[in-house]
Amino acid sequence: MTGPSFELEQSLFAQGYVRVAGVDEVGRGPLAGPVVAAAVILNPADIPGGLNDSKKLTAKRRAVLEAQLLDRAAIGVAEASVAEIDDLNILRASHLAMERAVALLSPAPDFLLVDGNLIPRGFALPAQAVVKGDGRSLSIAAASIIAKNWRDRLMVDLAQQHPGYGWETNAGYPSKQHKEALRNLGVTPHHRRSFKPVHNILYQE
């Protein structure tokens, strides 16, 4: 299995598009913390080597690539809060984060490649949903790296305010330690109350 390529972007350039952004989100599965999305427009003449789905890279490699991307690409990063996740649902909140990330790109893109099988309804630009996009498109892979690093740092910060849940290592995902801490220490303001394990602890009385 080869890694992501620039083929989707190249075919869009051939159709006359100039600024193609890859869009991805991270943090749909955790029980705590916001969902984070990134939108990235790569410079076709200066693409960092080794871009891949963030889940396939070590933290060290992701950090190197992030530094290169910040130097060479146009980037927008945005969040949807825990309150928005509980209010809207996780899918809609992750789309909201994507819409916000794209809105931060300057100059604006003229086409969006979106990871997943759905296009957020708030996008006014032409867009294509790309299933497993972080393994297919270099632009989406770049967005996955930026979003993951941003969210991991955020969860490390939150872990210092709320020790015991292991967020510095589990990033808010439902690890054994996190679930045990939920039962023993209770629910923090950063927990997603609409998620079943959290909801069950809140309402077990």
Write down the domain spans for the chain: 7-150
Give 126's Cβ-side CA count (13 Å radius).
9
Region 167-196 average pLDDT: 96
pLDDT tens for 44-65 read 999 999 999 999 999 999 999 9
Q: What percent of the chain has pLDDT over 70?
A: 99
Please report how the helices 138-161 and 59-72 are oriented relative to each other, as an axis angle in degrees rounded to 10: 120
Whole-structure pTM value = 0.96
Residue 1 predicted with pLDDT over 70: no
Residue 172 predicted with pLDDT over 80: yes
In which band, very low, low, confident or very high, does the pLDDT at 202 lie, cut at 50, 70 and 90? confident
Can you name the CATH fold of 7-150? Answer: Nucleotidyltransferase; domain 5 (3.30.420)
Alpha-carbon distance of 75 to 80, in angstroms, equals: 17
Q: What percent of the chain has pLDDT over 90?
A: 96
Residue 2 predicted with pLDDT over 90: no
pLDDT of residue 203: 84
Buried b (16+ CB within 10 A) or exposed e, 115-153: bbeebbeebeeebeebeebbbbbbbbbbbbbbbbbbbbe
Contacts of 65 (CB under 8 A, 6+ apart): 48, 50, 51, 57, 142, 145
pLDDT tens for 89-108 read 999 999 999 999 999 999 99
pLDDT tens for 14-54 read 999 999 999 999 999 999 999 999 999 999 999 999 999 99
